[in-house]
Amino acid sequence: MSQKAPQACNPALHEWRAPEILQPLHNSIPPQLLPRFDPVYVEYYSRNNAGRLHTHEVPIDEFRKNPARYTISYGRATGPDIFRISEQKCPVKGGEITVRIFEPAPKKDAEGQPKKRAAYVNFHGGGWVFGGLMADHDFCKRVVHDLEGDVVAFDVDYRLAPEHRYPIPVDDCWAAFNWIRSQKAVDFNLDLDRFAVGGVSAGGHLAAVVGHLCRDAGIPLRLQVLTVPVCDLHSSFTPEGIFERENCPYESYREMEFTAALPAARMAYFHRHFLGVPRPAPSEDDWKISPMFAPNFENLAPALVSTAELDPLCDEGECYASKLQAAGTRVELRRFPGTPHTFAALDGILSSGREYNAQVVAAMKRELLA
């Protein structure tokens, strides 16, 4: 039997090397956005967040069992110490919630009597699903300290979705605001004509709604601090909470669909958990879900509106500010360049966060102490 001739050598096979195929880390910053972010944020986010799950990617039951397992927290500057921090229970429909109270040392007026103080009522962020009194603890301390004894801060621990869906978080915040005015003004020597409300993200939404409710009820309000606020949950999502990229009226949602900190998928998650699936049928109270569509923008309190350049909510926050201005409201609007949705809580590492603190304090001094 004849032997087969050996096959010719294939040089290409000798030269072949296994290719290096790399994929971006889960939840990493998209390459096209990297140059636009503050490099300090990129450093911290890439080290602490990239490759890890966002909390909205964890089943809510699992998260509630052990929040510390899934929560990533860094970058908040420690607030300066103040005279007293305490907590009280506020009655709400179906239960009670905690309000944390940040007090400066008492001051005397020219007649030697206890000086009346302004009040700042804070609503934390977290998509109506996450967050709590830890979120803005240091911020409230800073506000009270930097207002030099003239402001008491109240931080409202409203109930969270999905266990307590809309309208419960809205109703809790309104109940707490009125409880502070009606039940705590004497205890804390508050001037009922010098109140401010504020919050970040979902907290900005809640503050905006309370601002409208104050106007409707004839309650004086000196300032709304609306930071990266959610103003419109209807236009960018289907009733089932699916992001409508093509029909969304806000370009920042399309441009920042996959951004760090608050991608559109996270907002869709918040929509579903806060409002249910489908969201409530259209009604005359829709503006409490989307204050962008409130029927009346006249005679609202002056507003400080802060937006972040690299945040899907940037355009809707600025659109809301424009509606306030068009109705005659005095508005201070500032977009912070190079920043993520969460920049206000990163004042320990980002200069933008420190600038934001200074801006809030300056606005409060102007509106509450004049």
Residue 2 placed within a domain: no
The CATH number of the domain holding residue 317 is: 3.40.50.1820
Rounded to an integer, the average pLDDT of 260-287 is: 97
Q: What is the reported pTM? A: 0.95
In a domain, residue 262? The reply is yes
Q: Is residue 7 part of a domain?
A: no
Joined tokens for residue 79:
């607030």
| pLDDT score at 370 | 80
Domain span at 326 = 59-106+116-368
In a domain, residue 8? The reply is no
Q: Tell me the pLDDT tens digit for each residue of 63-74.
A: 999 999 999 999
What dihedral angle (degrees, nearest 10) is formed by the CA atoms of 206, 210, 212, 218? 180
d(CA 299, CA 208): 13
pLDDT digit string (tens) for 199-248? 999 999 999 999 999 999 999 999 999 999 999 999 999 999 999 999 99
Structure tokens at 107: 């001051």
Residue 54 lies in a domain: no
CA distance 225 to 223: 6
Residues designated as active site = 201, 311, 341
Is 25 contained in some domain? no
Query: Considering its fold, how many domains does the chain have in total?
Result: 1
Question: Average pLDDT in the 186-197 region?
Answer: 98
For residue 9, tell me if it sits in a domain: no
With tokens 């409230």, the residue in question is 140
